[in-house]
Amino acid sequence: MRRVLNVVAALAGIVVLPGIVFAQSTIAGVVRDASAAVLPGVTVESSSPALIEKSRTVITDGTGQYRITDLPPGTYILTFSLAGFTTVKRDGLAVSGSGVITVNVDLRVGSVAETVTVTGESPIVDTQSVRREVVLNNETLNTLPATRGYGSALATVPALNIGGVAGAGASTAPTTPSMMFFTAHGGASGEGRLMTNGLVVAAPFGGGGVSDVTYDIANAEEMQVLISGGLGDAETGGPSINIVPKSGGNQFRGSAFYSTSGDWATSDNVDDRLRGFGITQPPTLRSNWDMSGSLGGPIKRDRLWFFANGRAWGNAAVVDGIFANRFAGDASHWDYAADQSIEARAAESRKIFAGRVTAQITPRNRVTFSHDYQRRCGGSHGVHKQRLPFG
């Protein structure tokens, strides 16, 4: 009985979490008639495959204004209807980021069966907030000619500075060092924050940079980079990154990725002259790989979705000038002699297994459960040169 009560209490806590944690988009605007007078009581319906409940409906207030909040990224259709007026549809509205998208509509008197469909570019200027935000969608994240880590993606955002111990290394390595900082407008180095679905997941309350946990942006719906203009509920005044992971959908979809490289893809300029100076081994990348796969779809259509992904990557590079002791373990020798048949390597690898389940429990509330398991292996080791390069 106690276990059941604990489960119920945990679910209740999840349900009452504040809506701000989702950090998703809002569509808002004003509905008027042909004489520019506001129209209260207009039914505004937003529908999209991104919504597990298919559609959401609101009604304009006494000033003709409406507001649809917490919308996940996707393409939406807005339908405006009122008895005695022509129904208006706004088609192909691309929603992304966490700002406010303004869509104003004029209705004219017409027959009930008449519908006007409006197709146009999505609004790109947020006129209802002061947020300055850059949104990198999934297509952009997967086509950037860089390693698939969010440190690399940050390097593409204007006005954002990456620093700390990791510095530019955070933009070239798949993993994310724990002392990477990102700032904007000359702010303190510890002000940057990393979030998933609006929840801070690394290094709260300043100091320490971001966490050493790596977030798989390759399987994210989008990455929202807030440069300035955050609201008062933000922990700091610095920039923030919000990673919106995928949630699945009513259709089964998956993806796979693989890339590799090694010393076979590199060359060097070491010649006899350089060897005469003692330079015999250039910096060499012995192996580098990155592979991932994902699958999402419905467990129960319009009620329960799942999304799962796995990823593994690693690299190994030769460390020049370091050799093992040929006399290691030999009690008759207390001196050192370099064993040049063994090369030293710095190696790093990581595996990620993540899963999400999203359920629509009421017309206005949904619950998401996610689990992210990571296994990291890093350090240095010695390998006999006679072995294969990937040994």
20-119 — its CATH code?
2.60.40.1120
Higher pLDDT, 326 or 37: 37
Segment 88-99, tens digit of pLDDT = 998 888 888 887
6 burial via Cβ count (<10 Å: 0-12, 13-18, 19+): exposed
pLDDT above 60: residue 375: yes
- What ranges do the domains of the chain cover? 20-119, 132-245, 253-384
Q: What is the mean pLDDT of residues 135-153?
A: 81
Q: What is the pLDDT of residue 149?
A: 75
Q: What is the pLDDT of residue 112?
A: 59
Q: What is the mean pLDDT of residues 281-301?
A: 87
Residues forming beta bridges with residue 347, ordered by sequence position = 316, 379
338's tokens: 């370099």
Q: What is the mean pLDDT of residues 97-111?
A: 85
pLDDT band, residue 190 (cuts 50/70/90): low
Domain 132-245 coded CATH 2.170.130.10: yes
Using alpha carbons, select from 370, 375, 341, 349 the residue that is nearest to residue 358. Answer: 370
pLDDT above 90: residue 61: yes
Determine if the pTM surpasses 0.85. no
Where do the H-state alpha helices sit in the chain? 2-15, 138-143, 150-154, 169-172, 272-276
Specify whether the CB–CB gap between 380 and 345 falls below 8 A: yes
Residue 376 sits at φ, ψ, to 5 deg, of: -115, 140
Segment 377-388, tens digit of pLDDT = 876 666 655 444
Identify residue 376 by its one-letter amino acid code: R
pLDDT band, residue 150 (cuts 50/70/90): confident
Ordered DSSP codes for 258-309? EEEEEGGG------HHHHHTT------EEEEEEEEEEEEEEEETTTEEEEEE
Gap between the Cα atoms of 267 and 280, Å rounded: 14
Q: What is the mean pLDDT of residues 128-139?
A: 79
Higher pLDDT, 16 or 255: 255
How far does CA 251 lie from the centroid of its chain? 22
Higher pLDDT, 320 or 354: 354
Specify whether the CB–CB gap between 46 and 27 falls below 8 A: yes
pLDDT band, residue 171 (cuts 50/70/90): very low
Using alpha carbons, select from 82, 50, 53, 52 the residue that is nearest to residue 66. Answer: 82
Gap between the Cα atoms of 314 and 376, Å rounded: 10
Segment 261-284, tens digit of pLDDT = 888 887 888 888 888 887 777 778
Enumerate residues 6+ apart whose C-beta is below 8 A from 25: 71, 72, 73, 95, 96, 97, 98, 99, 100, 101
Higher pLDDT, 198 or 67: 67
pLDDT band, residue 139 (cuts 50/70/90): confident
Range 320-334 burial, b when 16+ CB lie within 10 A, else e? eeebbeeeeeeeeee
Q: What is the mean pLDDT of residues 203-221?
A: 64
Q: Mean pLDDT check: name the lowest of 248-252, 258-262, 278-282.
A: 278-282
Ordered DSSP codes for 223-245? EEEEEE---TTSSSSS-EEEEEE
pLDDT above 70: residue 325: yes
Q: What is the pLDDT of residue 173?
A: 45
Q: What is the mean pLDDT of residues 201-222?
A: 66
Q: Which of 143-157, 350-364, 370-384 has the highest mean pLDDT?
A: 350-364
